[in-house]
Chains A and B, each alone.
Chain A
Amino acid sequence: MKGIIFTEFIELVETTFGFSIAAALLDGCDLPSGGAYTAVGTYDHQEILTLVGQLQKLTGTPASDLLEAYGLFLFPKLAEQMESMSLQFDGAIDLLCSLETIIHKEVLKLYPDAELPSFKVQNINSQEIVLEYRSCRPFAHLAKGLIDGCGVYYQQTLSVSMKHLDTKTEFFTLLSVRQS
């Protein structure tokens, strides 16, 4: 997992919960990287799960809420990178529909070893879509937070609902997005 996910997560913790929680978080996790993250580095995704789990313990906030909050926080950072790649979209739905066809392709150009989730789009109409989230990692709530962040970024009101489906080999969640 790319280092920006970790650096921005620490940034979120520091900003939201303060240095003492951040210190407790890092001290409380026996991380292989020791918590020394650089945005250009690549780290094991288990570390973020460890960090989220530890933060849940420290704050009493559910991990799913933490991940959604982190998504909401992370989106503007990713949007900056998106802009640097000269990627422009008409709005949230347009961007979400282009996740696989445009954005992930561009990401893979920069980071060929990146392991990206898949977002298959079920078009319902111009205002509503269903994203099929599939990944080997349990980050559906992070995805929801990013979708929320996307709405905020485009100043559009999105209502996002989730439906987890059982599979043995991967994490599969339907994310219904409706623009109002």
Chain B
Amino acid sequence: MTQSSIEIELSYLRKKIGREKDARMQAEVLLERKSTELFGINQRLLEANQNLDVIVARRTQALKTSTKRIELTTDELQNTVNRLNLVLDIANAVTWLFDVRNQTMDIAGKSQSLLGIEPTRAIPADDLLLRIHKDDAPELIDELNLSLKKGKAINKRCRILSRCGSYRWFLINGELSSFGAKSSLCVIGSCIEMHEQVEREREVWRVANHDLLTGLPNRNHFESQFSVLANESLESGEGFTAALVDINDFTQINDTYGYRIGDGVLRDFADVLRGYSEHTSHIARLSGDEYIVIFKNNIATWSAHELCQKLINECATMSLQNGERLGLSLTMGLAVFPKDGGSLDDLMQSLYSAVQVGKQKKHIGSSCVLYNASIERERFREKDIRNTLKLAIEKQSFDLAFQPIMCNESKCFVGCEALFRWPDMDAQWNIQEVIDVAENSGLILDLGEQVIEMAFAKLSQLTEMGVKKWVAINVSPLQFQFQDVPQLISKALVKYNVDPSMLVIEVTENIFLENITRIATVLSQLKKMGVRVAIDDFGSGYSSLRYVQMLPIDKIKIDKAFVDDVGSGTENQGIVQAVINMSHSMGYKVVAEGVETQEQLIALESMGCDFIQGYFFSKPVSFDELIKLDGFNKAPPLVLKTHLGRTL
């Protein structure tokens, strides 16, 4: 190595040392700066760390609070679920969810075993629908579809096959909703077991709508069923025939055989009616002895009439529980819906009108009357009479006529019968028709009171005149049923101060149809007051010798229908003779009504009839004319002796 090269190297190394120093200084500055930066970074990291700690602490606290809240919420939720499950158990209920998209059902609740299914999710809906009673399933599916289409709530009772293999009643409620994260469409609801309740309701309904004695539907059920049948009929345009059935004189059966046998007859009759069920759409017992039958639409009226005749024939011989045979007499009225009545009330009115017509013929046996226009006219006529009579009663526009009664033995007038007269009565009406309307409408009660009052006034006049003749007053069975007749008579006796023995109360045989024991008591009361009692129109109705013997009566008036034939030598003459003999044997006097001829008079005299009444002596006349009659006000008072020594 040369000197110069050594110097160059030395120079280089010296410079290098200088550069190394500079470099070291640079590095130290750099180090210092980096150290400062690092310190700064460290500080910032420290702060960041502290901030992070604060944030972490805050977040941790928030997380704890949130966790606590969730725990509480979970507890509450669990409590709610437990309560809900308890309520579901108590109510024998389950909840259900119908997944519309998958057509599956989820059933939840311990009581799901009631439905006969295991606790499984996502049961195919069709599987469950198969368990619903076939009569209920279509309506439930309709409600489900309505819920899906229109959001209508489901509320349906239906029968579901339970695990014990029988159908039980459930109430199914439901509403359209959504579920899950995707808000899938569903119908959610409950299914509550209410078998016992429904069964109770059905039993209550059955009791409320059926007659306990016969088991037939009652009036209440009939009326609701009628609405259904009427609507169906109007919709289809096909009418139907209805028959109102009334058992004639059923009271007599009760009175004769007792209520137990009577009830048996009603039950047997209901069974007979049930035998016609293939032809009928409804049969009901409306009241005691009144039944209604609605024939099916396809039964023509003439067929219905034939069936009614068949029923009548069938009932002509029925066996009683005691082994006796009884002919049940029926009155049936037929009317057609809507021709004869477009509403329940109108149809019933038509049926009652038809029955009413039939009742007029009941003494000749069963009848079946088809409602027609003439019955309608008769109904309006009766209505007209009723309304006019009502006004007349308010105005007291009546009068009495009197027909004298002759004593066969003394040939003197001994009394008279007071007969109701209505001076202003429409010429188209007759007095018997008016009395019938008064009887049927109940107006006879007020009318009867007025007749009693008028008769007493005239009897009082006779007493004041010193004419001691008895006056007979007709009293309706209805008055005996609904009024205190003895009290009425007693008051009148006091008011007019007349001799009770001058008063004769005439009652028809129809009185036997009432409670005979009560009637016997009432008549006895009258007898104790000194008033006489006579059975009017004997032989025209329910002529019961047993009752005649039982009741405290004085006289028997033979009906004009029998008297008409007296002297002709017919069978009726024999009957009259028999009645006279029988009455005498029981100590009763006999009055023959409607005597019009000499022959009749002679025949009755020869038969021993006690009193004669009729046109042969006098038609019914006014009071003024009566007292002018020869022999009525002049003859001495008669003392008549009965065959048993009774004084009349």
- Do A36 and B12 have beta carbons less than 8 Å apart? no
Write out the residue numbers on chain A whose beta carbons fall within 8 Å of the beta carbon of B19.
Answer: 26, 34-37
B28 to A: closest C-beta gap in Å: 9
Within 8 Å by CB of A19, from B8, B21, B31, lies B8
**Which of A18, A20, A41 has most B Cβ within 10 Å?**
A20
16 A-B contact pairs sorted by A residue (CB < 8 Å): A19-B9, A23-B8, A26-B12, A26-B19, A34-B22, A35-B19, A36-B20, A37-B19, A38-B23, A38-B24, A38-B26, A38-B27, A40-B27, A40-B31, A41-B26, A41-B30
- Do B15 and A40 have beta carbons less than 8 Å apart? no
- Do A38 and B30 have beta carbons less than 8 Å apart? yes
Write out the residue numbers on chain A whose beta carbons fall within 8 Å of the beta carbon of B184.
Answer: none
Write out the residue numbers on chain A whose beta carbons fall within 8 Å of the beta carbon of B5.
Answer: 20
- Do A19 and B13 have beta carbons less than 8 Å apart? yes
Whether A37 contacts B23 in the complex (CB less than 8 A), given A19-B13, A23-B15, A26-B15, comes out as: yes
Residue-by-residue, is A85-98 near B (CB-CB < 8 Å gives 1, otherwise 0)? 00000000000000
Which of chain A's residues 1-36 have a Cβ closer than 8 Å to chain B?
18-20, 22-23, 26, 34-36
A-B contact count (CB 8 A): 42
* B interface residues (Cβ-Cβ under 8 A, vs A): 5, 8-9, 11-13, 15, 18-24, 26-27, 30-31
- Do A19 and B23 have beta carbons less than 8 Å apart? no
A18 to B2, CA, bound (A): 14
B385 to A: closest C-beta gap in Å: 124
A102 to B218, CA, bound (A): 101
A20 to B8, CA, bound (A): 6
Q: Closest chain A residue to B8 by CB distance?
A: A20
Which of chain A's residues 26-65 have a Cβ closer than 8 Å to chain B?
26, 34-38, 40-41
Write out the residue numbers on chain A whose beta carbons fall within 8 Å of the beta carbon of B12.
Answer: 19-20, 22-23, 26
Secondary structure type dominating chain B contacts: helix
B542 to A: closest C-beta gap in Å: 128
A22 to B16, CA, bound (A): 10
A92 to B310, CA, bound (A): 123
Write out the residue numbers on chain B whose beta carbons fall within 8 Å of the beta carbon of A23.
Answer: 8-9, 11-12, 15
Write out the residue numbers on chain B whose beta carbons fall within 8 Å of the beta carbon of A19.
Answer: 8-9, 12-13
Interface extent on A, as a size class? 10 to 19
A141 to B: closest C-beta gap in Å: 27
Write out the residue numbers on chain B whose beta carbons fall within 8 Å of the beta carbon of A26.
Answer: 12, 15, 19
A35 to B8, CA, bound (A): 17
Write out the residue numbers on chain A whose beta carbons fall within 8 Å of the beta carbon of B26.
Answer: 36, 38, 41
A40 to B31, CA, bound (A): 9
Whether A36 contacts B23 in the complex (CB less than 8 A), given A23-B15, A26-B15, A41-B30, comes out as: yes
Write out the residue numbers on chain B whose beta carbons fall within 8 Å of the beta carbon of A35.
Answer: 19
A90 to B: closest C-beta gap in Å: 35
Q: Closest chain A residue to B18 by CB distance?
A: A36
A18 to B15, CA, bound (A): 15
Beyond the given pairs A23-B15, A40-B31, 4 more chain A to chain B contacts, judged by CB atoms under 8 angstroms and listed by A's residue number, are A23-B11, A36-B23, A38-B23, A41-B30
- Do A40 and B11 have beta carbons less than 8 Å apart? no
**Which of A34, A35, A36, A41 has most B Cβ within 10 Å?**
A36
Query: Which 5 pairs from chain A and chain B are nearest by CB?
Result: A36-B22, A23-B12, A36-B19, A38-B27, A38-B23
A40 to B22, CA, bound (A): 13
A36 to B21, CA, bound (A): 8
- Do A40 and B9 have beta carbons less than 8 Å apart? no
- Do B30 and A40 have beta carbons less than 8 Å apart? yes
B20 to A: closest C-beta gap in Å: 7
Write out the residue numbers on chain A whose beta carbons fall within 8 Å of the beta carbon of B18.
Answer: 36
Q: Closest chain B residue to A23 by CB distance?
A: B12
A35 to B17, CA, bound (A): 11
A50 to B31, CA, bound (A): 27
**Which of B9, B20, B26, B31 has most A Cβ within 10 Å?**
B26
B136 to A: closest C-beta gap in Å: 73
B26 to A: closest C-beta gap in Å: 5
Q: Closest chain A residue to B12 by CB distance?
A: A23
Write out the residue numbers on chain A whose beta carbons fall within 8 Å of the beta carbon of B24.
Answer: 38
Q: Closest chain B residue to A7 by CB distance?
A: B23
A35 to B20, CA, bound (A): 9
Write out the residue numbers on chain A whose beta carbons fall within 8 Å of the beta carbon of B30.
Answer: 38, 40-41
A138 to B: closest C-beta gap in Å: 26
A73 to B267, CA, bound (A): 131
